[in-house]
Amino acid sequence: MRISELSRRSGVPLATIKFYLRERLLHEGRLTSATQARYDESHLARLRLIQALTGPAGLSVAKTRRVLTLIDEPTAPTLDLLGSAHEVVSHPPAEEPPLEQVDAALRRLGWEVSEENQAHRAEVAAAVAAIGVADFALPERAFEGYATAMLEVAAMEIAAMPTESAEAAVRYVVLGTVLVEPLLLALRRLAQQEASKRRFGPPSEAARTPGQHVQP
């Protein structure tokens, strides 16, 4: 198909497609002459991916390009994968946050504390520090609760990780990391409403739902 059809079918403005081509987010079409090229389904799929990454996932064009490069050229051995994927998405803290408290909590939980995961621990510590700076006290044992819940999530995700091909694994990890974040945050908000209803009682007549995890 030609570029105008690609634009029509994807819903992405033509000028924007040209912009993505320029920025190397979208691979070039097959040139049929000096001023004509053909595009195919792969371009359509790529455009949808770009839309998901720059839209809901909230990635910048630069980060999107790095995610796409990672998917296109799965060079990393499977175990470094998580690292590469996370590197792309994470915002490394500007200054070094104090790790001690976080590390102590992680050790209590039986998590590994090593050089390999220092970057991640630093990010966690930075998030905790930001909470402290804002004079907001995390409830007692909240950190452990958060960590436990996220380990549940992560264990499920890692268990479901495809291992048959490197490409599939890369795609799963990279996209899973990025695309699921908005879902988790949205679910948390919805769950807060649900939990609040379960705690403070339903304002309407909907009191007979079974309900797990009710506060006693």
Contact residues toward DNA (CB under 7 A) are 2-5, 13-16, 18-19, 21-22, 28-29, 31-37, 39, 54, 60-62
Is residue 35 part of the contact set for a copy of itself (CB under 8 A)?
no
Which of 6, 26, 126, 170: binder of a copy of itself (CB under 8 A)? 126
Residue of 23, 24, 26 lying closest to 3 (CA atoms): 26
Task: At 30, give phi and psi (nearest 5°).
Answer: -85, 115
147 binds, among a copy of itself, DNA, none (CB under 5 to 8 A by kind): a copy of itself
Is residue 200 part of the contact set for a copy of itself (CB under 8 A)?
yes
Cα dist. 103→76, 94, 205 in Å? 28, 19, 46
Is residue 27 part of the contact set for a copy of itself (CB under 8 A)?
no
Structure-block tokens of residue 131 = 């909470």
Residue of 10, 57, 79, 55 lying closest to 176 (CA atoms): 57
Is residue 53 part of the contact set for a copy of itself (CB under 8 A)?
yes
User: Residue 35 Cβ, how far from a copy of itself at the closest point, in Å?
Assistant: 31
Is residue 184 part of the contact set for a copy of itself (CB under 8 A)?
yes
Is residue 49 part of the contact set for a copy of itself (CB under 8 A)?
yes
Residue of 13, 7, 1, 65 lying closest to 37 (CA atoms): 1
Nearer to a copy of itself, 39 or 143 (CB): 143
User: Residue 73 Cβ, how far from a copy of itself at the closest point, in Å?
Assistant: 19
Percent helix / strand / coil, the chain, rounded to 5: 60, 5, 35
Is residue 62 part of the contact set for a copy of itself (CB under 8 A)?
no
